[in-house]
Amino acid sequence: MAAAATPDKHFPVSWDMFHRDCRALTWRLAGQGPFDALVTVTRGGLVPAAIVARELGIRVIETICVASYGGASGVPDTQQGSLKILKGVTDAILKIGNGSGGRVLIVDDLVDTGKTARVVRDLLPNAHFATVYAKPMGRPLVDTFITEVSQDTWIFFPWDTGLAFQPPIAGGA
């Protein structure tokens, strides 16, 4: 199944909804640990990682920085390009679980096509991978998620949006 060139559906997520979904993710993860460290995929994984780390009492938090979408023009870039690891994880994290990532929790906001997840999963093959949202193409790469959306859906995260007037539907908008 190929990813849609331009998403047909939009799924706006408010801060309250996102926080609730992150806490629901944490409830599911509570029985999966304990975890010695958390690795978050930046930038989208930073917010859910902070919530999950707080709720599970995880103090060792690392980032892996992977760039896959452009989006610098001020509009959402819905096309994934080539992946670049801008910053990997430390040797100390890689050594946890005898170098396999056991007892490491990976957190991201979304698994879409699975390309980013595959890069991270290859570094820490036995880590527990959790995302808040999952699309069908990427879902097999994560162990735990909260909400699945269709592949042709674009999720508007609260840090990407602002409040604005919406004209009434009946007005022909």
Q: Is position 8 annotated as part of the catalytic site? A: no
Q: Calculate what percentage of the chain has a pLDDT beyond 70.
A: 87
Q: Is residue 115 part of an annotated ligand binding site? A: yes
Any idea how long the chain is? Answer: 173
Let me know if 45 is exposed, middle or buried by CB neighbors in 10 A (0-12, 13-18, 19+): buried
Has residue 20 got a pLDDT over 50?
A: yes
Tell me the HSE value of 64 on the side-chain side, using a 13 A CA sphere: 29
Mean pLDDT, the chain, rounded, equals 89
155-171 residue pLDDT tens: 999 998 888 777 787 86
What pTM, to 2 d.p., does this model score? 0.85
How many angstroms separate the Cα of 129 from the Cα of each of 74, 78, 102, 114, 166?
30, 23, 11, 12, 37
Number of domains the chain is built from = 1
Question: Is the model more confident about 138 or about 163?
Answer: 138
Cα 137 to chain centroid distance, Å, stands at: 14
In a domain, 17, yes or no: yes
Q: Is residue 27 part of an annotated ligand binding site? A: no
Check 21, 109, 152, 160 and give the catalytic one: 109
Question: Is the model more confident about 47 or about 162?
Answer: 47
Supply the CATH number for residue 125's domain: 3.40.50.2020
In a domain, 28, yes or no: yes
